[in-house]
Amino acid sequence: MKANLPSRRTGLALLGIVLLAAFLFVVARTGPFAPTRVTVTEVKSGNVAPALFGIGTVEARRAYLIGPTAAGRVLRVAVDVGEAVKAGQLLAEMDPVDLDQRVGALDASIARAASAAAAADAQRQDALARRELAALNAKRYVDLGGQKFVSPSVVEAKQQEQTSAEAAASAAEANLAAARQDATRLRAEREGLRRQRQNIRLVAPADGVVTARDAEPGSTVVAGQAVVRLVDPASLWLRVRFDQGRSAGLAAGLPAEIALRSRPGRPLAGKVQRLELLGDSVTEERIAQIAFEQMPEGIAIGELAEVTLRLPAGKAGLVLPNASLRRHGGETGVWVVRDGTLRFTPLRSGAADLEGNVEVFDGLQAGDRVVVHSEAELSADSRIRVVDAIVGQGK
């Protein structure tokens, strides 16, 4: 208070000026009078290498469901999940119930059939012998009758005897054949049962790894239900879904970069093996199968993977970052900065790559400066201030 008047006045005036300056600064820098900060880039010519990005899961191309062909009870399961099996290896066995007994019965029948055949054979021998005797007798009587030693009626009786003996021989032949056929039938029947007995032994159709053990001994399964599941680990591939809107250029044979969820940092090489004709109309996705160039170790079925497909680069054109594309007045375009003023230029965009570069056509020339980032929605009379970066660029 003891300061003399002029210096106090200067001090107060200074304070007032500082306050007023701060006030004006605040008014100019905040609120609607403040300019919008933007970053700009020059339109460059170049070409974008488009890429497709899809999400897939690891699947087995060849998977086997091993189960019985008829309903039955599981007797034993010989393998467990994760076990590698060879083709033909016993995996599980169904309960045969009465199959073995039926085979025994048939064996007995076959033996009996053999005895019957032997009896028939003996009867045939007897008939053949009788036929030979009858033939000799008939021949002798025919000669005697020719010399008129015996009456013709006796000769005829002998001839009829011979005919009977021949018929008896034929019958014995037929009997023998029937007995033999019976034996053959029984053998065939037994073979059939033996096959059935084999069929309830579930064996591996190919080399593979057990992925599931769906039934345990004692449980009943219907025909076609799996007891054991197998996959061929060498046949693993990826079933990848691509957004329909971004699937242009998707084709078999494209090289792929696969990032498995378990090892996102180490992409694996692959190739589009097959492109399914059927897309998914509900999820609006296309499906492609992608094979590994080299099967990775320890991969699990069902594992998620990100797949990037690189398409061949297109022709050179104008390239912009996709952040610069805006919608304004129902059109897509960019804000061109010219002499500190903004002008909206509608344009068409073409191919895009995954790094955010877009090919554009119409309305722009190389060297034009366009707004990339902005603090707020822009309009033609926005006041702007060009800065290097609006926020820290991060890591």
Stretch that binds other proteins, among 88-96, 135-143, 197-205, 354-362 (CB under 8 A): 354-362
Q: Is 59 in the site for other proteins (CB under 8 A)?
A: no
The span from the CA of 284 to the CA of 46, in Å, is 32
Q: Is 7 in the site for other proteins (CB under 8 A)?
A: no
Distances (CA, A) of 264 to 56, 108, 237, 267, 377: 13, 68, 17, 7, 36
Q: Is 388 in the site for other proteins (CB under 8 A)?
A: no
The span from the CA of 388 to the CA of 365, in Å, is 22
Q: Is 248 in the site for other proteins (CB under 8 A)?
A: no
Q: Is 277 in the site for other proteins (CB under 8 A)?
A: no
Choose which of 46, 49, 55, 273 interacts with other proteins (CB under 8 A): 55
Burial class (CB in 10 A: 0-12, 13-18, 19+), 322: middle
Is the Cβ of residue 15 or residue 366 nearer to other proteins in the bound state?
15
Binding mask 194-233 for other proteins (x = CB under 8 A): --------------------------xxx-xxx-------
* Per-residue tokens: 100: 């073995």
For the chain, give percent helix, strand, coil, nearest 5: 35, 35, 30
Least spacing, CB of residue 253 vs other proteins, in Å: 22
Q: Is 315 in the site for other proteins (CB under 8 A)?
A: no
| Greatest Cα pair distance in the chain | 193
| Other CB atoms within 10 A of residue 307 CB | 24
Number of residues that bind other proteins (CB under 8 A): 58
Least spacing, CB of residue 119 vs other proteins, in Å: 52
DSSP string, 160-207: HHHHHHHHHHHHHHHHHHHHHHHHHHHHHHHHHHHHHHHHTEEE-SSS
Is the Cβ of residue 53 or residue 83 nearer to other proteins in the bound state?
53
Which residue type, as a one-letter code, is found at position 47?
A: N
Least spacing, CB of residue 4 vs other proteins, in Å: 8
DSSP string, 11-43: HHHHHHHHHHHHHHHHHHHSGGGSPEEEEEEE-
Choose which of 14, 22, 97, 129 interacts with other proteins (CB under 8 A): 22
Q: Is 352 in the site for other proteins (CB under 8 A)?
A: yes
Establish how many alpha carbons lie within 13 A of residue 53's alpha carbon, considering only the half-sphere containing its beta carbon.
9
Is the Cβ of residue 132 or residue 355 nearer to other proteins in the bound state?
355
Q: Is 23 in the site for other proteins (CB under 8 A)?
A: yes
Residues binding other proteins (CB under 8 A): 1, 5, 8-9, 12, 15, 19-20, 22-23, 26-27, 29-33, 53-55, 220-222, 224-226, 242-243, 246, 282-283, 306, 321-323, 325-327, 330, 352-356, 372-378, 389-395
